[in-house]
Amino acid sequence: MTRRKSSYSRRKSTRSSDGSSRSKSYGEARIERITWVFLILVIAIVQILQQGGMAVPNWSIPFVGSVVLLGSGIYQYSRRWRVSPTTWLAGALLAGLALINLYVSPNSSFLGISLIVFAAVIVVGLLTGET
């Protein structure tokens, strides 16, 4: 007698925008967690480089953050998974900050704002169950 594994442990129930319950696949939840890890790694790597005396351009943190978020959103969308508006909005905001930093105000540092956006994406994802 072979025992069948329950898919319950690999699925997470979430609420969609219309209020109906939807089950999130293991792969979908995994990609969201990987996105969060990449956001944290961006900050960690930049801090390590700056501690080592290497100059990191001001636009790099919002740019890499936008690449991570928008890349994650595009990947999830291509798999026909639901992508939270938080991912799109935060990615667009970071892309805008990177462009402002490149063309309008090159001496401004958006590190603080980028950290707040990264934290907001993770907190909203934890509270709502999706990012």
Tell me if 102 is assigned to some domain: yes
Query: Measured at the alpha carbon of residue 119, what is the angle toward residues 92 and 21, in degrees to the nearest 5?
Result: 80
∠ Cα 23 74 70 (to 5°): 110
Q: What is the mean pLDDT of the chain?
A: 83
In a domain, 40, yes or no: yes
How many structural domains does the chain have? 1
Q: Is residue 7 part of a domain?
A: no
- 95-117 average pLDDT score: 92
Quick: pLDDT tens for 72-101: 999 999 999 988 899 999 999 999 999 999
* Segments in the chain forming alpha helices (H): 26-51, 60-78, 85-99, 111-128
Domain that holds residue 74: 25-128
- Residue 9, pLDDT > 70, answer no
Residue-wise pLDDT tens digits, 13-28: 455 544 545 677 888 8
Contact 118, 74 (CB under 8 A): no
